Amino acid sequence: MKPPKTGPALPISATEAKTLFADWKAARVLVLAVSGGPDSMALMWLAARWRRAVTGGPDLIAVTIDHGLRRGSAREARHVKLLATSLGVTHRIVRWSGAKPESGLPAAARDARYRLLARTARAHGALHILTAHTCDDQAETVLMRLSRGSGIAGLSAMARETMRDGFILARPFLNVPKSRLIATLKKAKIDYVEDPTNRDLNFTRPRLRALMPALAEEGCDAHNLTRLASRLARANTALELLVDGAERYLALQDDDAQHPGFRTEAFAVLSEEIKVRLLLRVIDRIGCEGRAELGKVEALLLALESAANHAGFGRRVLLRRTLAGALVTLTSERISVEPAPPRRRTN
């Protein structure tokens, strides 16, 4: 069924903006991440108008990271400063001066951006960094993760608030279509820049973005994709609560609870999803090589189950595997998890 045709996008009203920003009214300082593109220029304009209308609201600091990757990036940053100054918002330009990698440039730029935003937030005593992610960005994130075969947590995509490096990353526009932000800027007669890399089909995200109109014709539009993300986020929260409960249950069953791991028999009766999540948690805690990949944890669980099925009694080791810096050992009594020994150098 084709989705119903909708009218032209409406600008965000002052009353709507008050609701969108309400969660952060009591903050002392808010950092606004403003690239100069339409979404974040609207973020700055709407936040400044909201701030003028509330008494005792937070100080606003707009921050533009100049990645130094395109000609004209410094000029774009100055363009943001002009608008910030006219709105009475403090503005900082921070340049990414580190070495730029040959491959994986978007991911490296993104990491550098969040690091520099966090550094600036710290310098201004801010706990919150607001970005202008829209419901279109959320839909693209869901598609990217679908195409990589992510699980429930990954498909939940971005949350309205997430912790990162000790800061709260806040996304007030996660349910707002980009078209409404553009309509807001148009009405306020504010110019913005369009980053040409957003249309560069050498990158995955722009390629998926280009598919969106055809998918929307079939009903797979931003609205339905973001609805999927929020439903899965809800399911994910419920599952994590079950994992909390399972963790406590297993700890009570375990007479060696000081050492990370689970009693094999008690672990075996849990459902697959809970087992995978328990393994993920303990490996993340003990290993020191970052988050274990879901597919690898699923493979580990299969191997544990198959080895446990062929077990006799006693403490004989049935399986030993390392994953993400953790060493997992199975006996018929216990699944133990400890830091993996350092890898041997191969030269």
Ligand X SMILES: Nc1ncnc2c1ncn2[C@@H]1O[C@H](COP(=O)(O)OP(=O)(O)OP(=O)(O)O)[C@@H](O)[C@H]1O
Known binding-site residue numbers: 35-40
Give the residue with the Cβ less far from ligand X, 31 or 297. Answer: 31
Q: In whole angstroms, what is the distance from residue 190 CA to residue 132 CA?
A: 16
Do β-strands 319-323 and 161-164 pair in parallel, antiparallel, or remain unpaired?
Answer: unpaired
Helix axes 38-53, 73-87, angle to 10 degrees: 20
Q: In whole angstroms, what is the distance from residue 210 CA to residue 333 CA?
A: 53
- The binding site for ATP comprises 35-40
| Range list of H helices, the chain | 14-21, 38-53, 73-87, 105-123, 135-147, 152-155, 178-188, 204-217, 222-253, 264-268, 272-286, 294-309
Give the residue with the Cβ less far from ligand X, 42 or 278. Answer: 42
Enumerate residues 6+ apart whose C-beta is below 8 A from 196.
Answer: 70
Answer for which of 34, 176, 233, 330 binds ligand X (CB under 6 A) is 34
Residue with tokens 């395109």: 70
Q: In whole angstroms, what is the distance from residue 5 CA to residue 7 CA?
A: 7
Give the residue with the Cβ less far from ligand X, 39 or 333. Answer: 39
* Smallest separation, CB 6 to ligand X (Å): 23
Q: In b/e form, how buried is each residue of 215-237, taking b as 16+ CB within 10 angstroms? A: bbeeebbbbbbbebbbebbeebe
**How many chain residues interact with ligand X (CB under 6 A)?**
14
* Smallest separation, CB 64 to ligand X (Å): 5
Give the residue with the Cβ less far from ligand X, 178 or 277. Answer: 178
- Which span (28-36, 147-155, 226-234, 241-249) binds ligand X, by CB under 6 A? 28-36
* Smallest separation, CB 197 to ligand X (Å): 9
35 binds ligand X (CB under 6 A): yes
Give the residue with the Cβ less far from ligand X, 119 or 259. Answer: 119
- Which span (8-16, 131-139, 160-168, 306-314) binds ligand X, by CB under 6 A? 131-139
33 binds ligand X (CB under 6 A): yes
Q: In whole angstroms, what is the distance from residue 339 CA to residue 87 CA?
A: 53
Site string for ligand X, 254-293 (x = CB under 6 A): ----------------------------------------
Where is 66: in which H helix or E strand? strand 59-66
Answer for which of 28, 75, 110, 148 binds ligand X (CB under 6 A) is 110
113 binds ligand X (CB under 6 A): yes
Enumerate residues 6+ apart whose C-beta is below 8 A from 287.
Answer: 323, 324, 325, 326, 339, 340
* Smallest separation, CB 272 to ligand X (Å): 30
Nearest alpha-carbon partner for 167 in 126, 123, 114, 127 = 127
* Smallest separation, CB 50 to ligand X (Å): 16
Answer for which of 38, 61, 131, 157 binds ligand X (CB under 6 A) is 131
Answer for which of 132, 174, 185, 208 binds ligand X (CB under 6 A) is 132
Instruction: Report the site for ligand X in 51-90 (rule: CB under 6 A).
Output: 63-65
Binding site for ligand X (CB under 6 A): 33-35, 39-40, 63-65, 110, 113, 131-133, 137
